[in-house]
Chain A
Amino acid sequence: MKLSTKHLLGIKDLTRDDIQLILTTAAQFKEVLQRPVKKVPSLRDVTIVNLFYENSTRTRMSFELAERRLSADVLNFAATTSSAAKGETLLDTVNNILSMKVDMVVMRHSASGAPHFLAKHIPAAIVNAGDGINEHPTQALLDAFSMKEKLGRLEGLKVAIIGDIMHSRVALSNMYLLRKMGAEITIAGPPTLIPKYIEEALDVRVEYNLKRALQWCDVANVLRIQLERQNQPLFSSLREYNLAYGINRRLLESLGKDIVIMHPGPINRGVELDSDVADGPFSIVLNQVENGVAVRMAVLYLLAGE
């Protein structure tokens, strides 16, 4: 059994079996990470370059750790300190790197579709670590892994995705993945941050009232307000956003049921999540980060075979 694809460009291209295979393999890697020696020799003859054209803490460190735990050789590239700053094109940069015999490329880019473009032009396997406002597949996989770990299933699970849906690649990957695995989705946020026709396009429900969305769901995946991608004001102030769509302890306690709170990070404290929720008992934010390494190990491992 193997993945139906050579690259991981987006959840959109994966089958249900692919997702299942990645999640099962990730569970085995999670066990590896509990051992006294947390390293396996699987990819010792594989060289991987981390190509980051956009800032990242969690994702880059998580990928790098996953690669090292698999014994791969790792090269790091950050656009700001490289020749990309001198105007070298993406394809030139990558072809130069590949001529040094690199087997896999993990890439993040601010342009949607950048990894898809590369996949057409180079022979190495590509893992998308976030492309513009399109997809962030490994985040959706680790979110699904964390939900399954916490609640035991994905099928029939009620998931609310809350906040800046318009600019969120995490939201899009999550929606593709959860629908494929049979979960139900409600999108909640201000109308200006929710794309038109999303209900028909992705088979999800839309709710503009935060409390109603929370009352309905088992899990709330709360997104970061992405001010860097908003080139026009879409709500009047962060304070107003917090009043209408921020989640705090008092709101959670008024629901009369326990729900799980997730966030892909980095958190804008006091905007989409208040600290008493982010650090509270309902939050599994740090479990998500922990699971990220295991999930990325699974993806790299499964894509490394020829």
Chain B
Amino acid sequence: MKTILSGQQLSLTVKRLAHQILENNASLQDTVVIGLQPRGIFLSDRIVTELETLVTGGKIAYGKLDITFYRDDVRKSLHIANSTDIPFSLENKHVILIDDVLYTGRTIRAALDALLAFGRPSKVSLCVLIDRRFSRELPIQPDFTGKTIDTIISQKVKVCWKERDEVDEVVLI
């Protein structure tokens, strides 16, 4: 087991990601944040909290998306759905999609498909905490990355959050 990000590094990384998002979308006008269920939500919650302290007015359009029904392996293995909560239209919005780990890219493929059910966004950007860059099965790359790592398939990246796992850290198993 190897630590990729300690608690303190994790918190700095979240702050940096929020600043990078803001740097590229100065006023956050017409920008919405969508976290991916289940585990991307811990990251998106923190980024949204951070963003709200940074922008004047302090209210970010924030939704949660579950992609279970859009997976490409429904008939191979059954997954239990989590709730989706996007109480606004995505028509002509800039969507910042947030997930914890980018691995094969299949989840993001499904998420792009799912987003279209809520309108046609003008742009979609991807923000991830960990990018396992040599494991991609689809041509999908992040726009905002916490940390890029090189891993092999037998390894597992575990992202722990205080809210759920009692400690903030990212480890490689």
Contact = CB atoms under 8 A, between A and B. Distances in A.
Contacts of A24: 80-81
Contact of A42 (B66, B74, B119): B74
| Most-contacted residue by chain A among B68, B85, B89, B113 (CB, 10 A) | B68
A39 B117 contact: yes
Interface residues of A, number: 27
A25 interface: yes
Given A32-B69, A39-B117, A41-B113, A25 B80 contact: yes
B117 A46 contact: no
Interface string B88-113: 01000000000000000000000001
A37 B117 contact: yes
Contacts of B75: 45-46, 304-306
B76 interface: yes
A24 B68 CA distance: 13
Contact of B70 (A27, A29, A41, A305): A41
Contact of B69 (A2, A42, A45, A46): A42
B77 interface: yes
Contacts of A29: 69
Interface string A266-281: 0000000000000000
Tell me the interface secondary structure of chain B in the complex.
loop
B108 to A, nearest CB: 16
Nearest to A39: B117
A36 B89 contact: yes
A43 interface: yes
A100 to B, nearest CB: 19
B74 A35 contact: no
Nearest to A41: B70
Contacts of B113: 41
Given A39-B117, A41-B69, A31 B84 contact: yes
A42 B70 contact: yes
Contacts of B118: 35-37
Q: Which 10 A-B pairs have the closest CB atoms?
A: A40-B69, A37-B117, A28-B81, A305-B78, A42-B69, A2-B78, A35-B117, A42-B74, A31-B84, A1-B80
21 contacts: A2-B78, A24-B81, A28-B68, A28-B84, A29-B69, A31-B85, A32-B84, A32-B117, A37-B116, A39-B117, A40-B70, A41-B70, A43-B74, A46-B75, A301-B69, A301-B74, A302-B78, A305-B74, A305-B77, A305-B78, A306-B75
Given A27-B83, A305-B74, A306-B76, 4 more contacts: A1-B80, A35-B117, A36-B89, A42-B69
